[in-house]
Amino acid sequence: MAEPLLTDDLAADAAAPAADPADDRMPPVPEAVSAAIRARVEPRTAPLVERLLRPSLGLTPETGDGAPAEAPEGPPAGRLGGLPALPEGVPWPEFAGRPMQLIAQLDCAGLAEAFRAGAGGRWPLPSSGLLLFFHDDFFTDYGGQGCRVLHVPAGSPERPAPPDEDGPGPVPGVPVRAHWRLSAPSYQDRELEDLLPDDFPVALDLSMDFRDHLPRPDVRVLGWCDTDTGRHEGHRPLLQVENTASDADWGEVVNVSFWITDEDLAAARFDRVRHGFEVA
């Protein structure tokens, strides 16, 4: 399959020294979260748990008047669904002989602006162009191969979807705005389990504390996994979308996720991103 065609600016952006994804610098941890951690674990372990917290971005759909459906506001960051701005010569991604569905088209500049406004530090994704997230909306592959993420220049016209008699068609486009969110691991994440190898109930209680004190957006970029979907070993979430966030017909699938390794994230390699989904 042909690779996306890069403009000079986009190629330079992709070739620039990548941020270390482990460089997750954040503002101070909220006192309620810090207190919950100290109440659950030993004093020497509490700072290690705090270091697991990651920055992320929540994406809020806009209302019909162009305002976010709920506060806080943030810069425009693309949209969920719709049709992709695919450059000429870039084929529409397919899986098992069928065209994939576009789940999100995200504006890298808007994402970077929201991230730097909330956390500072280095933005670990490209700062220009678009990230297009395609997936197999038939959900026929449980190994994670049913997706494709493309980093393309902004400005191309929208590409009509290929004919697909069996598919549900494109998801209606919904503009989104980005805002910074703190993200915490759950008892299902190995990193927290490794800190508490003999204390599963403590890890479970911490997960509930995090849910109580940290907002969980319906759409999250980066951060930790918010759902009970299976984790891809050695990967971190790149994008998570709840079925309530868009008007997609996914049947019994309640959320979709895209996963990337730290190495591929640092090098802006999106051709090896993995797919995940959870069935109700």
Q: What is the CATH number of the domain that holds 271?
A: 2.30.320.10
**184 domain-assigned:** yes
Establish if 3 belongs to a structural domain: no
- The pLDDT tens digits of the residues spanning 30-71 come to 999 999 999 999 999 999 999 999 999 999 988 665 555 555
For residue 31, tell me if it sits in a domain. yes
The DSSP secondary-structure symbol of 182 reads E
Is 121 inside any structural domain?
yes
pLDDT digits (tens, 9 = 90+) for 109-167: 999 999 998 876 789 999 999 999 999 988 888 889 999 999 999 999 999 988 876 76
Angle 112-120-23 (CA atoms, 0-180°, nearest 5)?
95
Overall number of domains in the chain: 1
In a domain? residue 83: yes
d(CA 250, CA 103): 11
Mean pLDDT to the nearest integer, 163-181: 83
Above 90 in pLDDT, residue 224?
yes
Q: How confident is the model at residue 170 (pLDDT cuts 50, 70, 90)?
A: confident
State the average pLDDT for the chain: 86
Residue 257, domain member (yes or no): yes
Please give the model's pTM, rounded to 2 decimal places: 0.87
Mean pLDDT along residues 159-182 = 85
Q: Does 27 or 278 have the greater pLDDT score? A: 278
Q: Report cis status (omega within 30 of 0) of the bond before 72.
A: yes
Angle between helical axes of 31-40 and 200-213 (0-180°, round to 10): 170
> What is the C-alpha separation between 103 and 124, in angstroms, rounded?
21
**Backbone φ, ψ for residue 81 (5° rounding):** 65, -155
Q: Per the domain annotation, does 2 fall within a domain?
A: no
Does a structural domain hold residue 262?
yes
- Residue 6 vs residue 82, higher pLDDT: 82
Q: Domain limits at 87?
A: 8-61+72-279
